[in-house]
Structure 1
Amino acid sequence: MRQLFIQPIETIDHLSKEQFLNHYYKLQIPVIVKGAAKDWPAYSKWSFEYIKIQGKDKIVPLYDNSKVDASRKVNEPVASMPLAEYIDLLLAGDSTYRIFLYNLMKEIPQLKDDIVYPDLGVSLLRSMPMLFFAGAGSRVFMHYDIDLGNIYHYHFAGYKTALIAPPSARQYIYHVPFSTICLEEIDFENPDFEKYPALKKITFYHAELQHGDMLYMPEGWWHYMRYDTAGFSLALRSVPHKLPHLAEAVSNIFIVRHLDNLFRTAFGNRWIQFKNEYAYKRMAKWHNQTDILINQT
């Protein structure tokens, strides 16, 4: 079987402020903290049924694994339905939809009382705790977050697998311009190295998460998620502390995504095709040059 170069992420049972700052945050190294949410009210309270009751008839935006299409803006949902109805479908295995970036503080504010913000020595954005839901087998394509934030990813209910890579992977991961994704056609669980040889240059890191675990993903890290069972996660975040990452975040949010939407409107799917072809040809050119250098030596 074709395999990426994958290393496990360090897993620990406790994380102090000093340990986090000195060993992970400053060095921008990922870590898994087992049972990190065990002292939160959410640890014992949060289940699908509990969220369903608290959310009542909230209408939630839904996403699927449809490829990027010029008819929709960046991060525009493909459907919507009441939260209770969605959870019923999810548990029955009848939905491929995901809930993506659902602002807990804004939409279901009573849930904030179930969170205990960790004291890790960094300022967390308390107005932006985001929820993510998906059913068994759902996959979230490889991407990095538009704001390049440091992500504190707490998982609840069931099991989830993550594959992550550092920002330096961008030069090999077939990054699509004017976006924070790579080519959607790449299967990171069974990669085609003949078509995407540059992937062999990347060191990926693997995580397995269960109820209450936290995965710290440093700023700008690429991540691919697979829900092994139906589950949901809460993402807390802090702003990037590296100035180039902060500058890119500002550019992404206020300039790049608006230009991308403008070009989608103006050129339709020709713009999407151009970006995808550019992402591939840029890497293909790198690969061909590497072959030439190898042959010359």
Structure 2
Amino acid sequence: MDEQGGATWMNREPPRGSAGVAAALSPAAEKTAALAEKITAEGGFAFVGSLEKAAGGDRAAAEAAREMAWEQLHAGPWHSVVPAWRDAYAATCLYAAGFHADDGDLPEALKILDLGLIMGGLLLREDLERGVEIVLERSKGGSGGEDRGVCAGILGGIDRGNESEVLRDLPPGSLTSNMVGRQFSLSMERFICDYFQRGCPVVMVGSIDHWPALTKWKDLRYLEQVAGDRTVPVEVGKNYLCDEWKQELITFSEFLKRTISPESCKTDMTYLAQHPLFDQVQELRNDIMVPDYCFTGGGEIQSINAWFGPAGTVTPLHHDPHHNLLAQVVGKKYVRLYPASISAELYPHTETMLYNSSQVDLDSVDLEKFPKFEGLEFVDCILAEGEMLYIPPLWWHYVRSLTPSFSVSFWWAT
């Protein structure tokens, strides 16, 4: 850095490694210069110094800078992370991935880029996406395409002999009273008048029949081919309210192995939950379309997330702030919903991070501890392949996968 604390690499050309990937992945000088100013303002002088060395071709400095940024991302709650540090982490991922790629370690380079996409900010997102394209293209020219060990097969089937057993696992009273209304080829006008404006859930049938995902995502080899080497965050354990619950970063290929392994499902239930997978894997994004309903009320898409896991995965009773369309692409799910008007009777957690989750465990209700929960009315449904469920804002919902399941949620705000 110069005496004013600015970056000296502003006009410097990126280094060119022996294979050229480091040069191709290096972020533009003007972006790193602007980033350096922001990080300097946050007191990150050591980081800026290391990043400058990384821009000059110092691999050790790149790894040191990446570790410093990683520590900043985990110094407190995620929502309190300064955005500049997320951009800083993305920058270090570009440099580090370039060095690994030039060494021929393409799997590690791809993993680092994915971490940048998952944890990094928006400043260098296009650079990271371009980096993924470069590394994947190089992988095709090498030893890509080998069998990673996932058997060919169809995802999402249900053993009819065990179907009654699966349904017995549902919370007491399920599917016995008020069911969510079902509408075939629901028009936009009827959706607005009968459900959106009234704040009522509805199951939509026949609205996503044109999605390629409905057939493609059942094929394990297809999923393996387009996403097998990508790194994704997964949840391990019963659900996020349990003490034994944890998160891991694994390859999509490893996730698929766990999903189809009966032994793994019994010991370490693994769930790819509420992850923007389609921002990472363009091939999967091309297999779906944003439903027109999501633009109701002049709405803007807030997030498109994947929910993928084996039978038995549970999302405990909670509510979300946005309009939500849950599209069931593969398999079946049971969903129970309670209106926002009875939130108090659902005993929300008092902790800030869990305020939108109920203390009531629907799989084992303790009426002595939560007496007001008894007898509360709800609506529920089984969401089958090709169907979508509209969940209005702040409606409480519990979700259980009845089979291996792949779903997509669309959140939009008005």
Match of 1:221 among 388, 395, 406: 395
1:138 match: 313
Task: Give the C-alpha shift of residue 38 in structure 1.
Answer: 0.6
Q: Could you tell me whether the CA contact under 8 Å between 2:258 and 2:270 is conserved in 1?
A: no
Q: Indicate whether 1:79 and 2:252 are aligned.
A: no
Structure having the higher Rg: 2
Task: Give the C-alpha shift of residue 220 in structure 1.
Answer: 1.1
The residue correspondences of 1:101-180 to structure 2 (distance < 5 A) are 101-120=274-293, 121-122=295-296, 123=298, 125-126=300-301, 128-145=303-320, 148-177=321-350, 178=352, 179-180=355-356
Task: Give the distance between the partners of 1:180 and 1:52, measured in 2 at CA.
Answer: 35
Q: Indicate whether 1:14 and 2:185 are aligned.
A: yes
Task: Give the distance between the partners of 2:285 and 2:278, measured in 1 at CA.
Answer: 6
Q: Could you tell me whether the CA contact under 8 Å between 2:302 and 2:411 is conserved in 1?
A: no
Task: Give the C-alpha shift of residue 164 in structure 1.
Answer: 1.2
Task: Give the distance between the partners of 2:287 and 2:330, measured in 1 at CA.
Answer: 15
Task: Give the distance between the partners of 1:52 and 1:210, measured in 2 at CA.
Answer: 24
Q: Indicate whether 1:61 and 2:233 are aligned.
A: yes
Task: Give the distance between the partners of 1:127 and 1:48, measured in 2 at CA.
Answer: 29
C-alpha spacing 1:238/1:6, structure 2 compared with 1 (3 Å): farther
Tell me the alpha carbon deviations over residues 269-288 of structure 1, each in whole angstroms, 9 at most, x when there is no partner: xxxxxxxxxxxxxxxxxxxx
Task: Give the distance between the partners of 2:383 and 2:316, measured in 1 at CA.
Answer: 18
Unaligned runs of 5+ in 2: 1-170
> RMSD of aligned C-alpha atoms?
2.6
Aligned residue pairs total 232
C-alpha spacing 1:191/1:202, structure 2 compared with 1 (3 Å): same
Task: Give the C-alpha shift of residue 212 in structure 1.
Answer: 1.1
Task: Give the distance between the partners of 1:133 and 1:180, measured in 2 at CA.
Answer: 22
Task: Give the distance between the partners of 2:248 and 2:382, measured in 1 at CA.
Answer: 29
SS in 2 for 1:203: coil
More helix by share: 2
What amino acid is the match of 1:157? V
Task: Give the distance between the partners of 1:89 and 1:55, measured in 2 at CA.
Answer: 15
SS in 1 for 2:379: strand
Tell me the alpha carbon deviations over residues 202-227 of structure 1, each in whole angstroms, 9 at most, x when there is no partner: 32111101111100000111111111
2:406 match: 232
Task: Give the distance between the partners of 1:220 and 1:109, measured in 2 at CA.
Answer: 31
1:279 match: none
What amino acid is the match of 1:181? S
Task: Give the distance between the partners of 2:346 and 2:383, measured in 1 at CA.
Answer: 24
2:381 match: 207
Tell me the alpha carbon deviations over residues 235-266 of structure 1, each in whole angstroms, 9 at most, x when there is no partner: 01211x4xxxxxxxxxxxxxxxxxxxxxxxxx
Q: Could you tell me whether the CA contact under 8 Å between 1:124 and 1:238 is conserved in 2?
A: yes
Task: Give the C-alpha shift of residue 163 in structure 1.
Answer: 0.9
Task: Give the distance between the partners of 1:124 and 1:86, measured in 2 at CA.
Answer: 34
- Compute the TM-score of the two structures, normalised by the length of structure 2: 0.52
Task: Give the C-alpha shift of residue 52 in structure 1.
Answer: 2.8
C-alpha spacing 1:46/1:197, structure 2 compared with 1 (3 Å): same
Match of 1:27 among 198, 209, 212: 198
Q: Could you tell me whether the CA contact under 8 Å between 1:100 and 1:131 is conserved in 2?
A: yes
What amino acid is the match of 2:249? S
SS in 1 for 2:378: strand
Task: Give the C-alpha shift of residue 228 in structure 1.
Answer: 0.8
SS in 2 for 1:129: strand
C-alpha spacing 1:190/1:11, structure 2 compared with 1 (3 Å): farther
What amino acid is the match of 2:193? N
Unaligned runs of 5+ in 1: 242-297
Task: Give the distance between the partners of 1:14 and 1:230, measured in 2 at CA.
Answer: 26
Q: Could you tell me whether the CA contact under 8 Å between 1:104 and 1:128 is conserved in 2?
A: no
C-alpha spacing 1:39/1:81, structure 2 compared with 1 (3 Å): same
Task: Give the C-alpha shift of residue 6 in structure 1.
Answer: 5.0
Task: Give the distance between the partners of 1:191 and 1:19, measured in 2 at CA.
Answer: 37
Task: Give the C-alpha shift of residue 187 in structure 1.
Answer: 3.5
What amino acid is the match of 2:394? G
More strand by share: 1
Match of 2:223 among 44, 51, 65: 51
Task: Give the distance between the partners of 1:48 and 1:90, measured in 2 at CA.
Answer: 13
2:358 match: 182
Q: Could you tell me whether the CA contact under 8 Å between 2:302 and 2:412 is conserved in 1?
A: no
Task: Give the distance between the partners of 2:289 and 2:172, measured in 1 at CA.
Answer: 42
Task: Give the C-alpha shift of residue 129 in structure 1.
Answer: 1.2
Report which structure shows greater RCO (CA 8 Å, sep ≥6): 1
